[in-house]
Structures are given as structure tokens and as C-alpha cells.
A and B are shown apart, each in its own frame.
Chain A
């Protein structure tokens, strides 16, 4: 066999192995979800069986109905929606403002503050969470949503500011020059420069913030005490700790319901997540 044919054979073999490994990984990624969904339609008796069945022999929907009622899902969903939206809107707007500031204005100390801002990305939240809690206790804001919402409106986090700064820096100077010549003040310039092209970044920041706040467990955990205020993640854990040990079918059903909104957002807005990753990775 000629060397060329040998290399070609090896190349093909390499391609096959590549696909096999990737497909295996894809299966590993999806299998748990499939198992979860199938279990949610089984009775407890069938789910808690060894060896397990694959497709439910008896297909039931009561896990979903019971779970929804028992977990008070309607209430938790409403809470989570309100909280996540309030935070997301805050993040999208305030980090745009701050990002614009860092990108557009050369002032004394702007480089210094930019470095400080970026270095807060490295700060573990544990160092600041206790005094933050004390602040909110003194303000009597514990067991409200304010401790979670307020930080989102004050700059929305260094990562989001970073994304916006990169974006604004990439816009051609001519846009701002033109606006300035027309006598626009800085805020009018902000609207004119910002509005036309901001959609990709804003959506990027928005969907990531939405998913983050939707899934957030720790912050609501420390600030929310009454069941009425619980978000989906806290409610789910609460249900898990009281009912979870035996009622596997119901727990899986509730978990599926909890995941659904995030999955929908993800499938609708996939490319914005990918964009966000690309920008952050490249600037590393």
C-alpha cells in the first residue's frame, strides 16, 4: 500500500474515532435529562425498581399535577419571574451605562478604576457577603427582594460591564464625533451611538443575566425566610428536603418544570450565549 493511501486510511480512522468520541460525549450530556423525563412519568413503585425499566410501563401524569400543587409552583414561578426580570433589566441598563463610561471617556483615573473593576471579578463572594447581609439587616430589608435587586441596578457586575466596554470600544469613533459636532450632549450621544447597534450585546448580557438570576440559589437562600417569597430554586430544594427521599417521580417532574423556562430561553437565544463566550474567551 502506498504511503499516501496509508495516510489517507489513518486520517479516515481518526475522523471516525473523533465522531465516536463526540457522539459518546453527547449521549453522556443528554442521557441524564432523558432519564429524568422518563422517570417523571413513572409511578414511584416503578421508578424505585431494580433493574429499572426504560420506558414507563404505566404512564402517569399525576407526578406533574401533584408536584405543581405540592411545590406551590405557581407562586414560586411568579416570584422567580418578577425577581429575574427586575434584576435583568437592571443589569442590562446599568452595565451599559458604566461600560459606556469606561469605553468613551478618557479621564484622570479611568485606567485605574478599570483595573479595579476587573479585579473584582477575582474576588470570592464569601469575603463580602457577611457585611452585605449586615447592611441589609440594619436597613430592615432582609426577607425582601431588595438585597438581590439593588446590586443589579448598580452596575450589574464586572463581567457585564466588561462586555459592554469591549462593545463600545469597538464602535467607530466617527459615530460619536458626528453626534458631538451636532452639539449633542453626552447623554444624547449615548442614545444615538448606543441605540442602533446595541441589540447583540444587550441580548447577550440580558439572556445570561436572566438565566443566572433564574437559577440563583445562594442569594435567595440567605435573604428569603418566608415560604411566600421563595423562588423556584429555593422552593425546589425545600420540597426536596421534605419529600425528596421517596417521591422520586414527583421530584423529577418538578425538576423538569423548573428547567423548562431556561431550556426555552436557551433554544431561542442560543447564539447570544455563544457570542458572550467568544468575547470573554478571546479577551482572556
Chain B
């Protein structure tokens, strides 16, 4: 009898302590996550301004988005374009370089530092730097291209290449992904490779039969996180092109920003944000769904 009492006393103390310790996060969750999610859903059906006051307007925002606003679909198309161009390339490149780094090379620390540098310095300064590097007349890239006789495109001032320039800029900063892939590869026990080598498997064979399959959890993680992040791209287009030329780099996050924080139309902004959220969830669920077929966890 007394044992039972102590158990539940402990349990109760543990429960109280648990909620006490996580209280800061719990508050943040209810105030800054759950409530805003519900409220922003509600806002989709209003014409609220900065203060949150507005009238209920039913499906007007959605009607406007889907039928009267040509920019609405354009920004989603632009953002999708960016995601498709950036995410797969970032996975392939970070895996490839991560694999090279795992090959017992000298100066691993040096390479790791150098590759991480672009990631750690990301910010307005680096973006502005890239803006100049992509300058059609005086920038580094077109100069290098001219050395091999190619006249470089107008990059950020040409609607066909502006988004590509932003993708290139983003791919330059994937040092973080490279190191994550490296950690994933280094995690594979060397014995697998030993026995494969003894069996006469070529390096290529080893990569495809051992390295990649055992890295699929890491690749999956990078794929999901990378996709969710890529859909939210804002800084580079905002700083470099302000969405131009001709709205070719206007992303969903930028469109949301201008509608909500520049024009003060919180209702329409909320509508845009929920559409983005639904699309991200949809894509994530698809990735999640297919993962059964290609992600191998050790068991």
C-alpha cells in the first residue's frame, strides 16, 4: 500500500515538474503558434488591417486569389520553379561533395571550414555581394565567362535568368547540407565497405549499393527540410530584384509580405499564407508517403 502511494506521489511530482519546466515553450506554443494558426485561418475570411479589425467577407479573398489576381498564380509558379531547380540540385551536390570529403582526404578540416563559410555568412551582406557578382557588365561571373569567349546573360535584369541566378546563389551556400551528408556517410560502419571491397565491388557499385541506401534517412531529412525552406524564399529576391524583372522572381513569401505589411491587407495576406501552407503540407506528405519505398532505416 505504501509502495503504491510513493509511486503515484513520484508520478505526480514528475508531472508537475514536467509542465513547469516546459512552461516557457508551452506558453510560446499557445500564444505564438496555435492561436496564430487559428487566427490566420479566420483572417482568410475577413478584410482585416494591421490591428486585426475587419469585416467578415466570406470567400472574397479566395475568389480574388483564384480568379481576379493574375499575380497569385504567378508567385506560386515562380516559387515552385525555384524549389524544383534548387532542392534536387542541392541534394545531389551536397551528397557528392560530402562523399568526396568522406574519402579519407588530407586537410578535411580545411575543406569543411571553407565549404561552411558561405552558409555561415549568409545574410544581407552576402546577398548584396552576389548582386554585384551577377552584374551584367562588371560582375565576376560575366567576366569569367568572357575569358572563355562567352557573353554572359543579363542575369538579374533578364526575366529568363533572374531566378536562375538566385538558384545559383542559393546553391553556393549549401555548406550546412554538405556537412550533414558527410556526417551521415561517416556514420556507415567501415566494415560494410571492407567486405564489399573484398568481394571485388567497384567504387561506383559501393556507392550505389551501400552508401546511398544507408544515407537515405539523411537525404530524406535534407529533402523535407530543404523543400519546406525553399518554399519560403524571401531575402534574395527581395534584396536583389524586388520581385522583378516583370515579376519573374516574385515569390509567395514576397507577395505575402507586400500584401500584409506594405498594403496592410492582413486578410488577403493570411489567405496567401494558408495556400502556401497547404501546398507545403501536400508536398511534404507526398515525400513522406513515397519514403516507405526508398528510405532504409537500420533495424
A and B are partners in one complex rather than unrelated chains: yes
Give the contacting residue for A130; candidates B29, B111, B112, B266; CB below 8 A: B266
The answer to whether B17 touches A52, judged by C-beta atoms less than 8 angstroms apart, is: no
The answer to whether B235 touches A101, judged by C-beta atoms less than 8 angstroms apart, is: no
State the Cβ distance, A188 to closest chain B Cβ, in Å: 12
Query: Given that A19-B105, A107-B18, A154-B24 are known contacts, is A124 also in contact with B231, CB under 8 Å in the complex?
Result: yes
The answer to whether B234 touches A130, judged by C-beta atoms less than 8 angstroms apart, is: no
The answer to whether A117 touches B203, judged by C-beta atoms less than 8 angstroms apart, is: no
The answer to whether A124 touches B228, judged by C-beta atoms less than 8 angstroms apart, is: yes
As a 0/1 sequence over residues 219 to 246 of chain B, the CB contacts with chain A under 8 angstroms (1 = contact) are 0111010001001101100010000000
Task: Specify which chain B residues have a CB less than 8 angstroms from the CB of A222 in the assembled complex.
Answer: 257, 261
Task: Specify which chain A residues have a CB less than 8 angstroms from the CB of B75 in the assembled complex.
Answer: none
State the Cβ distance, B297 to closest chain A Cβ, in Å: 10
A126 to B299, CA, bound (A): 37
Chain A CB within 10 Å, residue with most, of B120, B146, B187, B231: B120
The answer to whether B24 touches A107, judged by C-beta atoms less than 8 angstroms apart, is: no
Give the contacting residue for B221; candidates A155, A214, A284; CB below 8 A: A284
The answer to whether B36 touches A132, judged by C-beta atoms less than 8 angstroms apart, is: yes
State the Cβ distance, B286 to closest chain A Cβ, in Å: 14
- The segment from B55-63, B83-91, B121-129 that touches chain A is B121-129
The answer to whether B124 touches A22, judged by C-beta atoms less than 8 angstroms apart, is: no
Give the contacting residue for B235; candidates A21, A36, A125, A218; CB below 8 A: A218
As a 0/1 sequence over residues 221 to 256 of chain A, the CB contacts with chain B under 8 angstroms (1 = contact) are 010000000001110110010001000100110111
The answer to whether B36 touches A50, judged by C-beta atoms less than 8 angstroms apart, is: no
A65 within 8 Å of B (CB atoms) = no
A154 to B92, CA, bound (A): 37
Count of interface residues, chain A, beta-carbon cutoff 8 Å: 95
The answer to whether B269 touches A130, judged by C-beta atoms less than 8 angstroms apart, is: yes
The answer to whether B33 touches A123, judged by C-beta atoms less than 8 angstroms apart, is: yes
A96 to B284, CA, bound (A): 30
User: Who on chain B is nearest to A223 by CB?
Assistant: B261
For the residues of B in contact with A, the DSSP-based class is helix
The answer to whether A102 touches B22, judged by C-beta atoms less than 8 angstroms apart, is: yes
The answer to whether B35 touches A237, judged by C-beta atoms less than 8 angstroms apart, is: no
State the Cβ distance, B250 to closest chain A Cβ, in Å: 15
Give the contacting residue for B25; candidates A31, A32, A155, A252; CB below 8 A: A155
Task: Specify which chain A residues have a CB less than 8 angstroms from the CB of B52 in the assembled complex.
Answer: 131, 134, 137-138
State the Cβ distance, B240 to closest chain A Cβ, in Å: 9
User: Who on chain B is nearest to A207 by CB?
Assistant: B120
Query: Given that A107-B19, A122-B228 are known contacts, is A236 also in contact with B117, CB under 8 Å in the complex?
Result: no
Task: Specify which chain A residues have a CB less than 8 angstroms from the CB of B172 in the assembled complex.
Answer: 28-29, 32
A277 to B115, CA, bound (A): 14
- The segment from B66-74, B137-145, B206-214 that touches chain A is B137-145
B161 within 8 Å of A (CB atoms) = no
The answer to whether B40 touches A251, judged by C-beta atoms less than 8 angstroms apart, is: no
The answer to whether A134 touches B100, judged by C-beta atoms less than 8 angstroms apart, is: no
Count of interface residues, chain B, beta-carbon cutoff 8 Å: 99
Chain B CB within 10 Å, residue with most, of A22, A26, A39, A215: A22
The answer to whether B17 touches A124, judged by C-beta atoms less than 8 angstroms apart, is: no
Query: Given that A259-B125, A266-B120, A273-B120 are known contacts, is A50 also in contact with B221, CB under 8 Å in the complex?
Result: no
A211 to B37, CA, bound (A): 28
User: Who on chain A is nearest to B110 by CB?
Assistant: A26
The answer to whether B33 touches A284, judged by C-beta atoms less than 8 angstroms apart, is: no
Query: Given that A19-B105, A126-B276, A277-B180 are known contacts, is A217 also in contact with B235, CB under 8 Å in the complex?
Result: yes
B280 within 8 Å of A (CB atoms) = yes
State the Cβ distance, B120 to closest chain A Cβ, in Å: 5
A186 to B12, CA, bound (A): 13
A68 within 8 Å of B (CB atoms) = no
The answer to whether A236 touches B128, judged by C-beta atoms less than 8 angstroms apart, is: yes
A59 within 8 Å of B (CB atoms) = no
User: Which residues in window 57-88 of A have CB below 8 A to B?
Assistant: none
The answer to whether A105 touches B180, judged by C-beta atoms less than 8 angstroms apart, is: no
A51 to B11, CA, bound (A): 75
A-B contact sample (11 more), CB < 8 A, given A131-B39, A154-B24, A263-B117: A18-B100, A32-B130, A33-B129, A36-B129, A108-B15, A113-B26, A117-B29, A124-B228, A131-B43, A132-B36, A236-B124
The 7 closest A-B pairs by CB, nearest first: A101-B21, A155-B25, A284-B221, A215-B123, A154-B28, A131-B36, A107-B18
On B, residues with C-beta under 8 Å from A are: 11, 13-15, 17-22, 24-29, 31-33, 35-37, 39-40, 43, 48, 50-52, 97, 100-101, 103, 105, 110-118, 120-126, 128-133, 137-138, 140, 143, 146, 172, 175-176, 179-181, 183-184, 187, 203, 217-218, 220-222, 224, 228, 231-232, 234-235, 239, 252-253, 256-257, 260-261, 266, 269-270, 272-274, 276-277, 280, 284
On A, residues with C-beta under 8 Å from B are: 14-15, 18-19, 21-22, 25-26, 28-33, 35-36, 39, 47-52, 94-95, 97-98, 100-102, 104-108, 110, 113, 116-117, 120, 122-135, 137-138, 151, 153-155, 161, 186, 211, 214-215, 217-218, 222, 232-234, 236-237, 240, 244, 248, 251-252, 254-256, 258-259, 262-263, 266, 270, 273-274, 277-278, 280-282, 284
